[in-house]
Amino acid sequence: MSNQFQIQLENFFARFNQHFDEAVPTIIAETANEYYRESFVKKSFDGKPWPALSKNYKPKRGTMMVRSANLINSIRPGVVSPSLVTSRAGSTKVPYARVHNEGEQISRTARSETFMRNRYKAGNKKGKFKRGATYNTKGYTFKAYSYNMPQRQFMGHAKELNQRIVKRIISYTIL
């Protein structure tokens, strides 16, 4: 009888471990992606607020990092397995994800426009483009410049995230 009970107990824990190995990585991935997306609402990561915007920055619409929601929507689980859970952000549509997350010095080379366009010279539309091309006008040349893109981290290791993951796993195992 004790031998049969021991076999049943081992079977129970084997099934429990298999179920646990399948559920925990999913819990971790979902919690991490939720936390990373919240960084954009809080404008901070792991309790550290993002640096203030430059006084020269004038957004056309939306707020910094949330203008089109492409960056937020690019956050998704990478690898989800019992031994490894990763998240990733960025795509061909969002090539700037790494630069915002890690910060970097951006250098632009000098360049010229190879085409010329009509621009309004006065009125409400001054400086905006008109239809058509004008010949015998000057093109536009832009000087080389560089600037430091400050780090506005939204992904990575975080104490807050680890605490959330532990709480969710504990509440899952209790149920």
Other CB atoms within a 10 A radius of the CB of residue 130 amount to 12
- The token duo for 163 is 């605490």
- The token duo for 165 is 């993951």
pLDDT at residue 162 above 90?
A: yes
**Structure-model confidence comparison of residues 96 and 67, the more confident one:** 96
User: Per residue in 12-48, pLDDT tens?
Assistant: 666 667 777 788 899 999 999 999 999 988 889 999 9
**Structure-model confidence comparison of residues 69 and 107, the more confident one:** 107
Q: What is the per-residue pLDDT for 156?
A: 92
Q: How confident is the model at residue 49 (pLDDT cuts 50, 70, 90)?
A: very high
H-helix or E-strand containing 28?
helix 2-42
pLDDT at residue 164 above 80?
A: yes
Phi, then psi, of 28 in degrees rounded to 5: -65, -45
Asked whether the beta carbons of 98 and 166 are under 8 A apart, the reply is no
Q: What is the per-residue pLDDT for 174?
A: 67
Q: Where are the domains of the chain?
A: 2-104+151-174, 110-143
